[in-house]
Amino acid sequence: MTNLTDLTVAEIRDGFRAGDFSAREVAAAFNANVAAAKALNAFIVETPEKALEAADAADRARAAGEALKPLSGVPIGMKDLFCTEGVQTTAASHMLEGFKPTYESTVSKKLWDAGAGMLGKLNLDQFAMGSSNETSYYGNVISPWRRGGGDNAALAPGGSSGGSSAAISARLCPAATGTDTGGSIRQPAAFTGISGIKPTYGRCSRWGIVAFASSLDQAGPMARTVRDNAILLESMAGFDPKDSTSLDLAVPQWEASLSSDLRGKKVGIPREYRPDGLNAEIAALWDRGIEWLKDAGAEVVEVSLPHTKYALPTYYIIAPAEASSNLARYDGVRYGQRDLPDGAGLQDMYAATRAAGFGPEVKRRIMIGTYVLSAGFYDAYYTQAQKVRALIARDFDQAFEKCDLLLTPTAPSASFALGEKQADPLAMYLNDVFTVPASLAGLPAIAVPGGLDAQGLPLGLQIIGKALDEQTVLNAGLAIEERAGFAARPEKWW
Partner 1 sequence: MSEYRIQGATGEWEVVIGLEVHAQVTSQAKLFSGAATAFGAEPNTQVSLVDAAMPGMLPVPNRECIRQAVRTGMAIKAQINKWSRFDRKNYFYADLPQGYQISQLYHPLVGEGAIEISLDEKNPDAQVKTIGIERIHVEQDAGKLMHDQHPTRSYVDLNRSGVALMEIVSKPDMRSPAEAGAYLSKLRTILRYVGSCDGNMDQGSMRADVNVSVRKPGEPFGTRTETKNVNSVRFVMAVVEHEASRQVDVLEAGGKVVQETRLYDPDKNETRSMRSKEDAHDYRYFPDPDLLPLELDDAFLEECRQSLPELPDAKRQRYEQALGLSAYNAATLTADADTARWFEALLAEGARIQKKSEGEVAKASANWLLSELYGALNRLGKTLEESPVSPEEGAELLALIADGTISGTIAKQVFEIMLETGDSAPRIVEEKGLKQTSDTGAIEAAVAKVLADNADKVEQYKAGKEALFGFFVGQTMKAMQGKANPQVVNELIRKALA
Residue numbers at the binding site for partner 1 (CB under 8 A): 82-83, 89, 91, 96, 99, 101-103, 105, 206-211, 213-215, 241-245, 321-322, 324-325, 327-329, 331, 333-335, 346-347, 350, 370, 373-375, 378, 382
Least separation in angstroms between residue 406's CB and partner 1 is: 25
Following DSSP, what letter does each residue of 106-173 receive, concatenated? HHHHHHHHTT-EEEEEEP-SGGG--SSSTT-TT-----S---STT----B---SSTHHHHHHHHTTS-
CB of 448 to partner 1, least distance (A): 29
Out of 72, 108, 184, 195, which one is annotated catalytic?
184
- Minimum Å gap between C-beta 123 and partner 1 is 17
Question: Can you tell me the distance from the alpha carbon of 14 to that of 4, in angstroms, rounded to the nearest whole number?
Answer: 12
* Parallel, antiparallel or unpaired: strands 43-46 and 75-79: unpaired
Q: How far is residue 290's CA from residue 36's CA, in Å, rounded to a whole number? A: 40
CB of 354 to partner 1, least distance (A): 10
Q: Which is nearer to partner 1, 241 or 419 (CB)?
A: 241
For the bound state, the minimum distance from the C-beta of residue 210 to partner 1, rounded and expressed in Å, comes to 5
Residue 164 bears catalytic tag: no
Nearer Cβ to partner 1 (369/477): 369
Q: Which amino acid is at 369?
A: G
Q: Compare residues 375 and 487 and give the one whose CB is closer to partner 1.
A: 375
Nearest to 141 by CA among 116, 164, 169, 118: 164
Query: Angle at Cα 78 formed by Cα 426 and Cα 29, nearest 5°?
Result: 120
Q: Which is nearer to partner 1, 101 or 458 (CB)?
A: 101
Smallest distance from the beta carbon of 165 to partner 1, in angstroms? 22
Residue 466 catalytic? no
Tell me how long the chain is: 494
CA 453 – CA 67 distance, rounded (Å)? 45
CB-based contact 182:365 (threshold 8 Å): no
Who contacts 403 (Cβ-Cβ below 8 Å, separation ≥6)? Answer: 266, 267, 268, 301, 303
Q: Based on the residue annotation, tell me whether 195 is a catalytic residue of this protein.
A: no
Residue number with CB closer to partner 1 (263 or 334): 334
Q: How far is the CB of 138 from partner 1 (least distance, A)?
A: 17
State which residue, 48 or 202, has the beta carbon closest to partner 1.
202
Q: Which is nearer to partner 1, 45 or 83 (CB)?
A: 83
- Non-local (6+) Cβ contacts of 474 within 8 A are 197, 226, 229, 230, 254, 258, 446
**Given the residues 79, 109, 121, 265, the one annotated as active site:** 79
Q: What single string gives the DSSP state of each residue in 425-441?
A: HHHHHGGGTTTHHHHHH
CA gap 55, 218 in Å, rounded? 28
Residue 158 to residue 405: CA distance in whole angstroms: 25
Query: What's the CA gap between 335 and 392, in Å, rounded?
Result: 39
> Beta partners for 372?
none
Please choose, from the candidates 33, 79, 19, 26, the residue with its C-alpha nearest in 3D space to the C-alpha of residue 52.
26
Q: Shortest distance, CB of residue 369 to partner 1, whole angstroms?
A: 9
* Residue tagged active-site, from 72, 136, 160, 205: 160
Does residue 162 contact residue 132 with C-beta atoms inside 8 Å? yes
266-270 and 458-465 strand pairing:
unpaired
Closest to partner 1 by CB, 319 vs 399, is: 319
Q: List residues with catalytic annotation.
A: 79, 160, 184
